[in-house]
Structure 1
Amino acid sequence: MLIDSHGRKVSYLRLSITDRCNLRCLYCRPQDEWTFIPHEQILSFEEMAELVDVARQAGVEKVRLTGGEPFARKDFIPFVGRLHVKYPDLDLRITTNGTLLADRVDELREAGISCLNISLDTLQRKKFEEITKIDAYDQVRAGIDACLKGGLRVKVNVVALKGINDDELPGFVDFARDNGVDVRFIEFMPIGYQSRWSRDNYWPAEEIISKVEKLVPLEEVLVASRNSGPARMYGISGGSGRIGVISAVSNHFCESCNRFRVTSDGKLRTCLFSDREYDVRSILRDPGHTMQDMLDLFARANAEKPMGYRLLQEREHNQVCDRTMTAIGG
């Protein structure tokens, strides 16, 4: 079990499958030329499986597979299936942009996946292309529809962007209520030295909830699981859907942070707001390494895990880390 100097237990691992993505969202990666991580530096699925073995040994109960876009990597679903067979009690989740999802729902269900987080920042096709630089809105909606038809739970992640999608609250409320899905607004975070972060686009969570309450009665829902993320969820009157906010900037959740992140090139990060990384890949590729070597690295990283909001306060008007979200794992 990993408990840090602030009394926080690590029970959740976010593992980036790849930094490749078929979208170019303005808040996630630079809009000019971009160099992906060389293939030979990306962890193999065998190395990732060993990493999950270590995480389980260290007390991790939930693993989220992210990207980049995880479905852009060949043989991703068979990898998911192998994890599920080995650890049937592991809470295994996926975050995706939804563009490559529509014809894979049956495979996902067979691989043990029951819930997906799907990114969708707008319900307008033209605006979708402005945000992502790709005309793929219909593919995302088809992916969501296929998941719902196939019996998978869906959580829609919306990066809250003032001046860009702050006029779409009524549409997202209707979307949540009509489809029985969670729609969660995530505050725009200053991540990545080349991402387009600006105070002008920052839309605080409290303002979002205040505006939603003027549209429809809300009732806050208590989330009981210790492995739950930082979202505050609200039930919508007259429907089965829910609205949520993740206030990473205005009301940080650092005191209850329960997670590690590992990038696709094998760097362990204990805090989203810090550039401090621990080299997992070099240990995994050492022919003489043992699980204890990995556990020792986890323990050292955990002992040095910062209280990230202090880093955010120190760099309030600048990006708080150099790696972009597509490289870190969104």
Structure 2
Amino acid sequence: MLIDGFGRKHDYLRVSVTERCNFRCQYCMPEKPFSWVPKENLLSYEDLFKFIKASIDEGIKKVRITGGEPLLREGLEQFIKMIYDYKNDIDLALTTNGFLLPNAAQKLKDAGLKRINISLDSLNAATAAKIAQKDVLETVLEGIQAAADAGLKIKINCVPIKGINDVDLVEVLDFCKSKGYVVRFIEFMENNHAKDGAKGLNSDEIKAIIATKYPNFKMVPRDNSSPAQYYELEDGFQFGIIEPHKDDFCAACNRIRLTAEGFLIPCLYFEDAMSIKDAVRSNNIDEAVAILKKVLAGKPEKNKWSNKKDDNEISTRAFYQTGG
């Protein structure tokens, strides 16, 4: 069992396989040049798997593959199959922008993937293009349908940005309601890699927009294993809001993150990290597990987005390296 210094049990490992991305989303990395980490600096799938296997043995029950855009790394389905073959009842999931899903969804499902989170910030093609800085909507919708056809359980992620896609939130919710997909609106996490001037909506503002069409939704009891607070419409459909700015957001955090270069990150907000690269490359898995436990022991109690002295704090974390 993996326990941090505040008594929180950790059973969820997020693994970034690449920092590369084929979008330039305003809330993430709009100006990132094509100066990527050399391939030889990345952990191989075999080395990543060594650590994942050991983490599962220590109590990890959920593994999520992230990026960057994880589908940009070749052979991803083989990596997923390695994890599935080791423990086929693991909660195995992936987060993607959906652009490469039309040709990948069935392969991922066949490899053992169970669930998939797909970004959909707008159903307006021009707005989606403004956020991603390329024409993406039609292909992303094809990717969502391919995931559904493959039998993957789908969640939709939407990041509301003031003055850009805030007018599209009800349409995104209605789309998900019509398809039976879970939708979660994610408060923009202020970071210095985002586009200058980008401002997110807080949960109250998101709820106010949804209330223009659905005024009688209600809060449902919170599942502490979920980062989202869920709300239920009168017809029973539920939507979630991920609220990192709330003081209690970190209280039940069960997540640890591993980057493609082998850095273990205890908290999404802070730059703190320790590397397991040398340990796994030398097959010293006991040392890698010891580093994991040391990272957890030093994990902070909470992020600083809830600090109100200057509205909200700004993180220096590059989310394209950690998958959010």
Please indicate, yes or no, whether the TM-score normalized by the shorter chain is above 0.5: yes
Q: CA deviation at 1:229?
A: 2.7
Distance 2:45 2:267 in 1: 24
What secondary structure does 2:102 align onto?
coil
Other-structure match for 2:176: 176
Q: CA deviation at 1:105?
A: 2.6
What secondary structure does 1:308 align onto?
coil
Distance 2:60 2:323 in 1: 18
Other-structure match for 1:112: 112
CA deviations 1:54-96 (Å, max 9, x no partner) are 2112211111100011111110011101211111111111000
Other-structure match for 1:214: 212
Distance 1:135 1:43 in 2: 32
Q: CA deviation at 1:259?
A: 0.8
CA pair 223-103 structure 1, distance change in 2 beyond 3 A: farther
Distance 1:148 1:236 in 2: 23
Distance 1:76 1:246 in 2: 28
CA pair 273-176 structure 1, distance change in 2 beyond 3 A: same
CA pair 94-77 structure 1, distance change in 2 beyond 3 A: same
CA pair 108-194 structure 1, distance change in 2 beyond 3 A: closer
Q: CA deviation at 1:310?
A: 4.3
Residue 152 (1) aligns with residue 152 (2): yes
Bigger Cα displacement from structure 2, 254-263 vs 103-112 = 103-112
What secondary structure does 1:210 align onto?
helix
Q: CA deviation at 1:170?
A: 2.2
Distance 1:306 1:32 in 2: 28
Tell me which of 221, 228, 231 is aligned to 1:231.
Answer: 228
Q: CA deviation at 1:255?
A: 1.4
Distance 1:47 1:71 in 2: 19
In the alignment, residue 325 of structure 1 is paired with which amino acid? F
Q: CA deviation at 1:300?
A: 0.8
Distance 2:200 2:305 in 1: 18
Distance 1:57 1:151 in 2: 28
Residue 325 (1) aligns with residue 319 (2): yes
* Cα contact 1:234–1:244 (8 A) shared by 2: yes
Other-structure match for 1:203: 201
Q: CA deviation at 1:223?
A: 5.7
CA pair 115-222 structure 1, distance change in 2 beyond 3 A: farther
Q: Which runs of 5+ in 2 are unaligned?
A: none
How many residues are paired up? 322
Distance 1:230 1:118 in 2: 16
Tell me which of 245, 258, 273 is aligned to 1:262.
Answer: 258
Q: CA deviation at 1:312?
A: 5.7
What secondary structure does 1:142 align onto?
helix
Residue 307 (1) aligns with residue 301 (2): yes
CA deviations 1:224-259 (Å, max 9, x no partner) are 5x6x331112233347x5311000124551111111
Distance 2:305 2:120 in 1: 29
What secondary structure does 1:51 align onto?
helix
* Cα contact 2:189–2:305 (8 A) shared by 1: no
Superposed, 1:11-30 pairs within 5 Å as: 11-30=11-30
Q: Which runs of 5+ in 1 are unaligned?
A: none
Other-structure match for 2:121: 121
What secondary structure does 2:201 align onto?
coil
In the alignment, residue 76 of structure 2 is paired with which amino acid? F
Distance 2:58 2:105 in 1: 31
CA deviations 1:184-211 (Å, max 9, x no partner) are 11001123x332264x612101221233
What secondary structure does 2:46 align onto?
helix
TM-score normalised according to structure 2 size: 0.92
Bigger Cα displacement from structure 2, 145-154 vs 4-13 = 145-154
Distance 2:247 2:306 in 1: 11
Distance 1:255 1:284 in 2: 31
Distance 1:258 1:248 in 2: 14
Distance 1:311 1:40 in 2: 35
Other-structure match for 2:269: 273
Residue 249 (1) aligns with residue 248 (2): no
* Cα contact 2:161–2:199 (8 A) shared by 1: yes
Q: CA deviation at 1:218?
A: 2.3
